[in-house]
Every structure is written in structure tokens, then in C-alpha cells.
Structure 1
């Protein structure tokens, strides 16, 4: 990568680690209404970095002026203005690129043409160039679900308008009125994000892995809105199962953040028992597993105690879904992830495994809460389930990975016969995290690194700045998402996808796809949390084919700094610096 591009990438990610100190917002003294709810996010205004395309360029002048930073204020000078003119039935349009996926809308500042009537424009947001250029036709998947991304708008004479609320990188503006002029002083993205530091970090001798780690971190950062969403364009909801990879990334990058308990509590409070969270039985299992990991990383016993009534009732509800033979009998929607949903045997094996993992997690949580009897009952049920034959297990890598993690399958055999078989074929963005963990259980760290480079790296090669709802290696070759797709080349965003994410409905920023970020921190940098609240860590690095790796890890007590270097004879030399209150045990690898 050229040095200037490296610098730009570094500046971009460092910029998100800068926290602006500000006092809590206050209402004016004269306000006598109901208590207000303040937004927890920061708003930044960003000019586009590129004009991707112009329709009717002969009717457009000064479009490069939109790439300049401005002040967001219209004025009477009407200087340095981009002008779009419609003539003889021809209507101009501009496609703008803001450089990376973001969550937010547009601020449009207008000038003062001779005709001072409002001017109608069409606004289209897109996560890809193709999406920003498409119509909602009922066939290509484009929609206004969750967020309105295609709409008309009246722009004022000499004024400012903020509009839109979606996930996008590209925005298209088309002049709709005939024989009119549109004067644009500025078109900026209104970027909505949490102003939080990137405390965790990861750098290695492989720049591709570094980019993947950082992209996963940024993907989750975008999804950390007032609640932790699954995606910023579509699925702007709290899907509990999907949260687990996101929360593991939060733990590795940001440390504690209030968006996690807010989202977990929302799921709890909107799901009275005997209901299943999001209507999916496995998602209530994930809620228990998430609480176990959240407590392990942050050690907040007071928060855990708030979950006790719901947690204990949910565990007893799960007991009732286990047959006398130890086989799960979960009702509700039976689901792991979309790509495995047609493999009933894999789903059954996965749900058996996931129930065991939830019972294991529940036992630990009950121990922390001092409920020894319920903890023992969880362990008894888990043992009964482990003694129940799983059956076929299916071909999908999703269910097989969970079987390894639950102790129902031999890690090395499962990796050889299922997970690593076919390389990245059969991987998924959500359950890829658990496939990588299963490969680690088999000791196949180099294979896992290769899967990360190939599968998640392929999205970067196609122009991604965030990771996607799904990706399939069979979709390749395809055109890049950040350019108009050449004739004869597959338009991946328009033509690919399945289930609920066909075509342009496919989200290109989905937090559940961030698994490599958490995995690289845990298995390559080697950070394992042994005692709740990170009071004791186990540093067990696995560099695979890397020459060195270094990074930081957030704890409630401060930042842990780590560096590992591989010598010519294969031995690993490590340096670990911990804050007061954190003890770290280093596992040494001689070869």
C-alpha cells in the first residue's frame, strides 16, 4: 500500500479514537415542558470525497466545489456555487461518494437563483454505487424498509435542510423540476456516531489482517447507535442472537459501553416469558450467553443481580424444553443463521449445542449470584444433554462448529471433515466467528488466519469499508461496490443474496460480521479473561504464520499492552504490561 494511503487509513481510524470532552447538554431555563431525552450520539458534517458520476454534465457547473469543506451556512454572496440546470426536458443529477459507509443523512445548503421558489429534488442513498442509482421496482430488492433511502424533497431558496436517516456511503441528487436552476453551496453527510475511543488495537506483520480487524471494529461502531443495531440501513433493530459477535467486538475494542446493557434490557423488557426474544428460541439462549461474557469481561455484579428474576425464570423455561432423553425440544422459530436454515440436521445439532452452552453460562451466572441449587440444576441438565446422541449433525459448518464448542464433537476431526473442507466455501458472516473458534479449538490457527484473509478480505477487495450481512465465495467474480459495474460483470449487490436479503435489500454494514476482530484479539494477540472484570488474564498467543503482533486490550482497570515476536527458531518472545488490579499469566510457546 502506498505510504500516503497508509497514512490516510491510519488517520481515519485514529480519528475515531479522539473523544471530545463536553458538558452534559442542558435545556434553556425557560423550558417548562416534560423532561427531555438527550441523544447519546455525536453529529459530524463531512463533505463528499469524490463525484462518482454526473447525468447531463453539460447542465452542471462547479460540482468540484462540493468537495470543499464549508461552514453549513447559506449567505448572500452566492459565490463558489455548484449549479444544476434543467433544460428542454433534460434533468441533471450528481452521484456523491463520502468515502466510507456511515450512519446519518444529508445537510444541503442552497444558494440564491433568480427564481426563489422551492426546487424539487430526488435523494437516493446507497451502500453501493448501484444501489444509489437504482429504482424501487419490486424486483431488485431495493426498498424503504427500516430507513427511507429514496425520496423527494423540496429545497428552499437560500436555506439549509437536513434530511434522511440511513446507512450509506453514496448519495445521488437529481433535479426534478423542468427549466429550473438548483444552486448548491454544500452537500454534506450528517454522520451520527458515538464519540468513544478505540481503546483496543491490533497490529501485525500482515497489513491485510490489520485492515480486517479495523474494519470489523468500525462496522460495530456504526451499529452502536442509541441501541446496538444489527445494521444501519436495514435491521436497525436489537436482534439478540446477532448481538453476540458485536458484543465480543465491543469488549475487545471499546470496553464497557452503556449501549450493551441498554440493548440487553430492551430485549428482556419487551419479551415477557414464556416468549422467546425476537420470536426465536435460540436468541433467548444467546441472551444468557451474552450476559455470561459481559459479566466475565466487566464484573458488574450489581447489573447481573438486576437480571436475576428474568434469568432464573428463563432457565427454568429452558429446563422444560429438554426431554427425558436429553434432547432439546425448543419451540418458536428454530434458527441458527440464514445460510444454514435449509439444513434441518445442522439446525437441530446447533440448537442442542447452543442449549448446552446456555446452560453452562447459566450455571456460572447462578454461581456468581449465590444460587448454588439452580447452578447445580443447570449442570445436571447440561450433562444429560451431552449424553444424548446428536444424530446426523448435517453438513453445514454452523451446526458442526457449535458441536465443537459445546464438547459434542472432536475438534480436529470436525475441522478436517467439515469446517476446513472446501476452504471458505460454506462460511457465513455471522457464524463465521464460531467456525473460527472451532478451528482454534482444533489448533488450526494458520487455517483460521487464511479463512479471515480470504473470506473477509474478499469484501475489502470489492470496495467494502464495513462487513456485510452475508457473503458467499460463489458470488465471485463480481464488480466493485464503489464503482459503476462494467458491462458483462456481475453486479453483486443487485444480483446476489437470498432469504430476507435479496438484491439491494442486502445490508452492507452488519455488526454480526465483525467476528475476526474479536477472534484476532482473543486467539492471536492471545487475550483470555479468566476472572470476572478482567482481574486475571491468560495471555496465550498463536501467531500462526505471522512474524509479530502487538496491540492493546481494554479492562475496567485500564489498558493492557501486548507485543509478541517470533524468532527464527519459532519461539515467541512476549512483552505484557498490565494496569494495577489486573494480573496476567503468560503462556509460553517454545516452537
Structure 2
């Protein structure tokens, strides 16, 4: 028998080990290129290439390797820098020595796209909708004489610097971005013979990693909030790439504590349903039984609240904000269909959780609710989102028909959020070739347009005539950032780093590498690769016991030959 005081010590050590993962590091990133300058004559902006040279990080009175800006009544000296990739953090500016010691005023504009960094906030009736909401990205600062300072705190890739004071020569030694990112290892990996697919996997992982800040956010520019529905794709990506992370538990607990009954998380009934589903999925991957047991009281009350809103005929009557994703937000029939499926999924998860923690009340209540719901036919209303949830939940009376709905609609009405569940539904019907084509075409389109992280939204029809986000939009081209978005994320308010868009990362590990936990904590893994049109794939997968490695190649007859290596404690089934 373990002595009580030893158990306490062991528990504290476990908590310390988990909390040690929370370190956020500050990394300096130099500019990769100069996108634009207000002057190419050398009169108002001179020696700009010094900003791209090496810099030790220490100013010196003898250092003359600086750019010079000078504004006049008729010309405002400006320069636009590209740091090469999206990041979360701030700008650090180094002012070189000059004759006048008076501080100078600079205007700094940060942007996830070139257009955003070149935009003006607070312009009335500006259809581009640039804002300073959630994080300041357009502000005026004072730069010291022979000194450095940091400013800003947003998601960005580009920075425009304007000298506001006139007839003063300002010597700018260096500008760097200071990236704030968790110091965690990418334990999961994915590499196939298709480099585009590999880049999509990595971009999804990086998108979520940037959003792992104090809490697990939806986006690093906005909203920087814990939206629980957004969390499900994010948590699945974390499970497949980074393994167990304290920020997930912290964010789930925040959503719980922020939502007293009879409220719904984030005001949305669907987001409380997702919270239950996340709890189940998290336990399957990480096996943290103590954490799951600690959720028991809230889970039981939440299951009761849902059960009370499923009528005697098994029909959902959920209140609160009724929401799936933005493209379906105005279709009441589709929302009802989706909520019916999500409620069923949440109650199935609740039964499993009840079994894991040995809670008979939870099992009884959720099982009774499921029995009422089983007889309800769910119509997808020719909608891909509803069809996907029908298939995933197991409520679909005709999975092949629902699958055809997804394939027929294609990328029309696709969203970066629910596109993940369309991929999951296609996988359940064995449509791996079609799913990989969706991934390459839809998520790949963002890469083609210069993305280094995945976006809150992409209307695929806009891609054909769109300019890249890392260039000034040429005449006749569509501005995919300023001219995109809808609802509350119109124009430049649209987030270009949004965690809910990371679905392909976990999907590729789960279905192409074929790694699926079938017992909690990855004690038993099914490894059943599905290469589709790919010829080879290899990758790693984090478990609480260590790393699983899978390597697969099609031989001359098209048969997939696999080598699987698993740590002690993990059983592999094929």
C-alpha cells in the first residue's frame, strides 16, 4: 500500500512535471525582406538594406550601419518589413546615434497581411474594416535616442514604420520581431512523398502552437479567447503533435468555471456539447484519470441539463445561442440537424466517461437520453456540415447518401472549422482519396496565397482571382484579406491564424498514418494506414509511454508494407 504522504509527494511531482511544459519563450526574429518603401530615391529613406544585415543586438556609438528616415511637409518616410512567417509577439526597435537627442514619434502598424499593415484604423465606413480590437496593431510611440524599446502585442507577420516628426533625421539601426511561443517539442511528425500535404500538416501544427499562449486561444490577433468549439480541432492537433499539455486542462477548467449553470459555454449550447466530447477524446489520448474524475460534478450537471432539453420523442430543444459554424448560421433546419447529432455524440461521450470514472448516475442518465434519440431520423437538408455530423454521430440512416452530399457540394460552403468534420466523415466511408484532394485543394490554397498559418475562414470561390497576402494587391486582383470574411469577421478583422483550421494535421495522423487510440491513454492503438494516392508515409505519434513510429511504403504490387515501432506499455493492433 502506498503511504498517503508519498502519494501526495508523487502527485505534486506529476503536477510540477506538467506545469513545466508551460514555459513561453521569447525568440528574436529578424526581418526577411523589405516589401515596400515610401521613397526609392534615397532622399527620405536611405540605406534600408542595413535593416536586413546581421545585428548583434547591442547598440554602439561607433556603429554606422543604419537606415535613415526623414519626413517633410510633403513626404512621410515609411518602410514595410516582412518577418517571413506569422507569429505572436511584439516589435523591438533599435535607434542609432544621431545629433538630436530628442525622442522621435513613430507610427507602427502590424499586419497578418501586407494590406493590413498598410491600412488605417478608425476610418469611418472603411469597407476593409481594419481595427484595434482585442490587440493593438496600429499605434504611435516615442523612440529614444541611442536606445531600444519594445511595443505591440498581437499576431502579425508584417510591420510598417512611419516617421511622424518632420525635418528630423532618424537613424534606425534594426527592427526585430519578438516571438512568444511555447518551448515544447513537436513529438508528432508526418512525412509523405507529397510535399504539399506535408506542408499542410506542419502548418496546422504551427497554427495551434502559436495559439497555445496563457490559455488555448482561437486566434492570436483576435479574439484571443477560449472558445470551446474551436478547441476541439485544436486539442486533437495537440494530442497528435505535442502530447499532454497543461494549457489544455487549464483552458477546459477556465471554460467550466466561467460557465455557471444553467449557462452554456461561450453562450452557445453546442460549445458545452463540444466540452464533453473534448473531455472524452482527451482521456482517450492522455489517460489522465485523476483529471477526468475531477470534472465529475460539473459533467453530471451538464448531462442533466442537456437531458432535460431532449424531449420525450428524442428531439433536441436546446436553448442559448444555436450555432454550428458561420456558413450554416442562418439555416435553422441545418442547425437543428447538427445539434441533434452533436447532442447524440455528447451523450455517447458521457456514457463512456461514466464508465471510465465508475459513475452509474451519469451512465444511467446519458443512456436513457440516447435511447430516446436513437429513433429520430436526422435530415441533412443537402448540407455538408449536417451530413458530416450525421455520419460521425452514427445517426445517419443513409451514410452513403450523406457522403454523396459532402462530395457533391465539394468546397462550396466549406469552412476551415467544419471542414475537419467533413474529412472525418469521408474517412469513415473509406473516401481517403477524396479527403486528401479536399485537403490539398482547400488548405493548400491558403499556402498558395502566401499563408504560413491557417485562416479563420476561406471562401474558396474567391481564390481564383486572389492576390497573395504577402504582396501589395495588383490592380484587377481580389484582396483575399480585406475583401474576404463575413459576419463578425469581415475584411481585415478576419484572423489569419485560427486554431480551428488545423483539422488536417490530426486527420492525416489519424487516418493516413492510421493511428487511433482504442483504449484510454493509448494503452492500445490501432494502426491501420490509409495512403490513398500517396506512395509512402512515415511519422511519429506521442503517447504517455513514449513515441510510436510508423513507416509505410507501397510495393510494386500496390500493397502497403509497414514497419511499426512502439514503446513498452503500448499494444498495437492492426
User: Could you tell me the TM-score, scaled by structure 2's length?
Assistant: 0.94
Residue matched to 1:252: 240
Which among 51, 59, 65 is matched to residue 74 of structure 1? 59
Matched residues in 2 for 1:198 and 1:149: separation?
30
Question: Per-residue CA shift, 1:519-546, capped at 9, x if unaligned?
Answer: 0000000001011110100001111111
Partners of 1:256 and 1:419 lie apart in 2 by: 33
- Which of 398, 418, 428 matches 1:441? 428
Q: Indicate the residue corresponding to 1:510 in structure 2.
A: 498
- Alignment equivalent of 2:380, drawn from 389, 393, 404: 393
1:442 shift after superposition: 1.4
**Could you tell me which residue of structure 2 aligns to residue 43 of structure 1?**
26
Of 424, 435, 439, the match for 2:411: 424
Residues of 2 paired with 1:332 and 1:97: CA distance?
Answer: 43
In the alignment, the residues of structure 1 paired with residue 376 and residue 402 of structure 2 have an alpha-carbon distance, to the nearest angstrom, of 18
Alpha-carbon deviation of 1:265? Answer: 0.6
Q: Helix, strand or coil: the match of 1:500?
A: helix
Q: Which residue of 2 aligns with 1:578?
A: 566
Q: Which residue of 2 aligns with 1:320?
A: 308
Partners of 1:343 and 1:396 within 8 A in 2: no
SS at match of 2:409: coil
Within the candidate set 89, 112, 132, 2:117 is matched to 132
* Deviation of the 1:413 alpha carbon: 1.6
Q: Give the conservation status (yes or no) of the 8 Å contact 2:22–2:247.
A: no
Equivalenced residue count is: 549
Match status 1:306 vs 2:294: yes
What is residue 54 of structure 1 aligned with on the other side?
A: 37
Shift of 1:396: 2.5
- 2:74 corresponds, among 74, 89, 95, to 89
Question: Aligned residue for 2:90?
Answer: 105
- Secondary structure of 2:485's counterpart equals coil
Asked whether the 8 Å contact 1:230–1:511 carries over to 2, the reply is yes
* SS of structure 1 residue aligned to 2:482: helix
Contact kept? 1:343, 1:394, Cα under 8 Å? no
Q: What whole-Å deviation, never above 9, does each CA across 1:402-441 have from its counterpart, x for those lacking one?
A: 011111223222111x101132222110001100001111
C-alpha contact (below 8 Å) 1:445/1:544 kept by paired residues: yes
Give how far 1:106 is off: 0.4
Partner of residue 63 from structure 1, selected from 42, 48, 63 = 48
CA contact (8 A) 2:21 2:245 kept: no
- SS of residue paired to 1:285: helix
Deviation at 1:39, TM superposition (A): 7.8
Equivalent of 2:450, from 437, 441, 463? 463
How far apart, in 1, do the equivalents of 2:517 and 2:22 lie? 33
Query: How far did residue 38 of structure 1 move?
Result: 12
For 1:485-564, list aligned pairs within 5 A: 485-564=473-552
Preserved CA contact (<8 Å) 1:411 1:439: no
Counterparts of residues 118-517 of structure 1 (less than 5 Å): 118-136=103-121, 137-138=123-124, 139=126, 140-390=128-378, 392-409=379-396, 410-416=398-404, 418-476=405-463, 477-517=465-505
Q: In structure 2, what is the equivalent of residue 13 of structure 1?
A: none
In 2: Cα distance, 1:379 partner to 1:467 partner: 38
State the match for 1:30 in structure 2: none
Mapped contact 1:56–1:91 kept (Cα < 8 A)? no
Contact 2:21-2:184 at 8 Å conserved across structures: no
Structure 2 counterpart SS, 1:359 = helix
Q: SS in structure 2 opposite 1:244?
A: helix
- In structure 1, list runs of 5 or more residues that go unmatched: 1-23, 25-36, 587-591
Residues 38, 574 of structure 1: CA spacing in aligned structure 2 closer, same or farther, 3 A cutoff? closer
Shift, 1:88, TM fit: 4.4
Q: Distance in 2 between the 1:211 and 1:323 partners?
A: 46
Deviation at 1:92, TM superposition (A): 0.8
Distance 1:39 1:248 in 2: 18
Structure 1 partner of 2:4:
none
Deviations along 1:433-486, whole A, 9 cap, x unmatched?
100001111111100000000000011000000000001111122000011111
TM superposition outliers: structure 1 runs of 4+ over 4 Å: none
8 Å Cα contact 2:22-2:182 kept in structure 1: no
In structure 1, distance between residues paired with 2:402 and 2:22: 47
